[in-house]
Amino acid sequence: MKKRIKSRQILALLSVLCLLWTVPEQVMAKEHWPRGPKTESKSVIVMEVNTGTVLYEKKSHQTHYPASITKIMTTLLAIENCDLNEEVIFSDDAVYESRDGSSSISRQTGEKMTMEQCLYAVMLESANECAYAVAEHVGKKLGGNYQTFIDLMNERAKELGCTDTHFKNSNGLPDEKHLVSAYDMAVISAAAYRNETFRMITGSISYTIPETNMHDEPYYCHNHHKMVYPWKGDYTYLNDYATGGKTGYTSVANNTLVTYAEKDGITLVCVVMDVLTPGHYTDTEKLINFGFDNFQALLISGNDTEQQSESEKDFGLLNNNKPFAELDKNAYIIMPKGTVFTDAKVEGNENQSDGQTVVSLKYTYADHVVGNAAVVKTGAKAEGSYFQNNPGQSESKDGDIIWIKPQMIVSALFLIAALVLLIYFGKKFYDNFYLMRHRFEVRRMEHERFKENRRKKRYRKKDRMFR
């Protein structure tokens, strides 16, 4: 009886392992992405800045004249290539940009300002001559001229992954070949907002340009974005969550608007293009509210227990070794409200060329990329101890960590269990075979003895008869 119970237990264990190995992925509820609001703008998009998650878009790859939202790229490149205290001298070509009555702060040929002063004038007052002077200054610094800066704008756009963009100038004045899509503008704007200096400039409500060699009076700049500052006393569109942006308008582009907003750990960038007044503000308000009302930010660290690297823990005989690699603790994904972290799917790319990233993770939900995270090396070295290597990992000759996946551990356990079971039943079969053979031999011998006894009885009977 005891052997029979033990056998059943082993069979049950093997069955469980088989089920664990063959069980399909958890059946999820049907993935749902919230529907966005109706908008007047010809092209719109609302994107989460840090994850690149597109919450809603309408004809976002359709190209339009961007007007002055072009200056976001101009400002970003100036910040990336210059110090804010560098001196910018206005050329006659730069001053010419404001002679047709376009937006300006009335600078003169030979006037000197710092790069910081110019960039505030570009972003708050949308000064075209300042945008030209900035581009000219950066182009000369790079060994070229104004066109060098325009080429740099297009190169940077390609680096960011833009495919619908072609810049012809630094300020957005009308040009048939100066075109940008809402999607590309959101990508550019998100990259700019991740720069701390840019965030400081675009989020300022005012800035004072002091006296220059050509002006005896200071110039007071104010943010023209009415969701950030009540420009001209208009409080209609002021928004508590708006943190910056850039306005744009020409007769051929109509209104264009880029807006940044932050709430509950989510940072949005909203782009609307080609819309009549006041549609650029009403559409933006709808899209921002849509984003905050329907989506949530979920931290990856602590939620993704399956992808959470074992190396984030302390190891060693005294539990005092530093982790070999760690997951970005600030990374998060953007998911519709009502969903949970495990609803997202994750893919890992281990072929990283930077030498520091162990694995790059991409999270998706409902055919949307909802976030990314990287597990990077910390540079920690294992201390000599009784337990030389950490559980779940080994190290190659060049120091790279070789991760052992959970599936490999399950496979190993399955094989071990199968081997144990094979040995057990093999031994049991051998024992049974030996016992059956012994019983057969005993019966054969008994049969032989029986035959022998019968033969002897016959001989005795015959012997008595002859007597």
Query: Is it the case that residue 289 has pLDDT exceeding 60?
Result: yes
Q: Which of 368, 359, 358 is nearest to 334 (CA)?
A: 368
SS3 content of the chain, % helix, strand, coil (to 5): 40, 20, 40
Residues 247-268 have a mean pLDDT of: 97
- pLDDT, tens only, 389-441: 444 455 554 555 455 556 677 677 778 877 877 787 777 777 777 677 777 77
pLDDT for 318 equals 45
Query: Is it the case that residue 334 has pLDDT exceeding 80?
Result: yes
pLDDT for 271 equals 98
pLDDT for 1 equals 46
**What burial class does residue 117 get, using C-beta atoms within 10 Å of its C-beta: 0-12 exposed, 13-18 middle, 19+ buried?**
buried
- pLDDT, tens only, 160-186: 999 999 999 999 999 999 999 999 999
Query: Is it the case that residue 26 has pLDDT exceeding 90?
Result: no
- Tell me the sheet residues that pair with 272: 44, 257
Task: Evaluate whether 290 touches 37 at the Cβ level (below 8 Å).
Answer: yes
Query: Is it the case that residue 319 has pLDDT exceeding 80?
Result: no
Angle at 57 between CA 53 and CA 60, to 5 degrees: 105
Structure tokens at 12: 């049950």
Q: Give the strand pairing for 266-275 and 345-349.
A: unpaired
